[in-house]
C-alpha cells in the first residue's frame, strides 16, 4: 500500500511514428511536433503512472489512434459567416455538458481501464496532459472519472471564475 504522502499522477501523451507505405494498419496523417506539421505515419496514445518524489515513470497503457476517415469535399456546402455578437434568442449553456471529440473519448476510456487496473492499491488524484487538453471539454472529461486535470491553457481559452 502506498503512503498517502507520496504523490502519484497519471500522465498521458500522444506520439507519432513516421511511416511510409499503405499496408500498415492505421496509417494516416497525424500531427508531429518534431516536424511542426501533419506527417504520414501511425500514432499512439500512452498513459503512465508517475511517482513525483522518486521521479519515476511506469508506462501502463498504450493504444493506437486511428486516422480520421476521409471526407468528401463538397463545394455546395459553404458555411455562412455569422455576424458579430451573440445570436438573437440564444440561451446560456451548461458548461458541464460538453461533447467530447474522438481523442478525448479514447483517453477517457483508457483512464477508466487504468483506474480499474490499479484498483485500490493507489489513488491518483491528478491527470497530466499537454496543451491539447487545455480546454473546458478536457476538464469535464477528466472530472467524469474523478480526477483533476493539470495542463497548459490554450491560447484561445476563456477563463471563467
Tell me the pLDDT band of 59, cut-offs 50, 70 and 90.
very high
Tell me the pLDDT band of 124, cut-offs 50, 70 and 90.
very high
How many distinct structural domains can be found in the chain?
Answer: 1
144 occurs within a structural domain: yes
pLDDT(22) > 80: no
pTM: 0.78
- What is the span of the domain harbouring residue 122? 8-12+49-67+96-150
* Cβ contact 134:154 at 8 Å: yes
Distance CA 161, CA 24 (A): 47
If you average pLDDT over every residue of the chain, what do you get? 85
pLDDT(3) > 70: no
62 occurs within a structural domain: yes
Tell me the pLDDT band of 6, cut-offs 50, 70 and 90.
low
* Cβ contact 142:122 at 8 Å: no
115 vs 91, higher pLDDT = 115
Instruction: Provide the 10 A C-beta neighbour count for residue 16.
Output: 21
Amino acid at each position: 500500500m502506498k503512503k498517502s504522502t507520496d504523490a502519484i499522477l497519471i500522465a498521458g501523451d500522444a506520439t507519432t511514428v513516421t511511416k511510409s507505405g499503405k499496408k500498415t494498419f492505421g496509417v494516416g496523417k497525424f500531427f508531429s511536433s518534431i516536424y511542426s506539421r501533419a506527417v504520414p505515419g501511425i500514432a499512439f496514445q500512452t498513459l503512465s503512472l508517475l511517482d513525483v518524489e522518486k521521479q519515476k515513470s511506469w508506462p501502463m497503457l498504450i493504444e493506437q489512434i486511428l486516422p480520421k476517415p476521409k471526407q468528401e469535399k463538397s463545394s455546395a456546402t459553404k458555411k455562412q459567416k455569422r455576424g458579430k455578437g451573440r445570436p438573437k434568442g440564444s440561451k446560456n449553456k451548461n458548461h458541464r455538458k460538453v461533447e467530447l471529440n474522438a481523442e478525448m473519448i479514447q483517453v477517457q476510456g483508457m483512464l477508466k481501464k487504468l483506474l480499474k487496473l490499479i484498483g485500490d492499491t493507489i489513488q491518483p488524484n491528478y491527470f497530466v496532459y499537454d496543451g491539447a487538453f487545455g480546454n473546458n471539454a478536457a476538464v469535464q472529461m477528466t472530472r467524469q472519472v474523478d480526477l483533476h486535470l493539470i495542463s497548459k491553457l490554450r491560447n484561445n481559452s476563456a477563463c471563467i471564475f
